[in-house]
Amino acid sequence: MLDTDERFERMMTETFRETARALALFLGREKVSLLRAARLVADSMKRGGKLLLCGNGGSAADCQHLAAEFVCRLSAKRNRSALPALALTTDTSFLTAFCNDYGFPGIFLRQLQALGKPGDVLLGISTGGSSENVLNAIRGAKSMGISTVALTRRDGIAGKIADVSIEVDSEDTAVIQNVHLAVEHALCRVVEEMLFFSD
The CATH number that applies at residue 18 is 3.40.50.10490
Distance CA 180, CA 195 (A): 22
Q: What is the pLDDT of residue 4?
A: 80
- Number of structural domains in the chain: 1
pLDDT mean over 135-157 = 97
Q: Does residue 6 have a pLDDT over 70? A: yes
Q: pLDDT at position 198, please?
A: 77
Burial of residue 93 (CB within 10 Å: 0-12, 13-18, 19+) is exposed
48 pLDDT above the threshold of 90: yes
**Residue 5, pLDDT score:** 85
Q: What is the mean pLDDT of residues 63-82?
A: 94
Q: Exposure string (b/e) for 149-160, b if CB count within 10 Å is 16 or more? A: bbbbbbebbbbe
Q: Which domain holds residue 161?
A: 4-197
pTM for the predicted model, two decimal places: 0.94
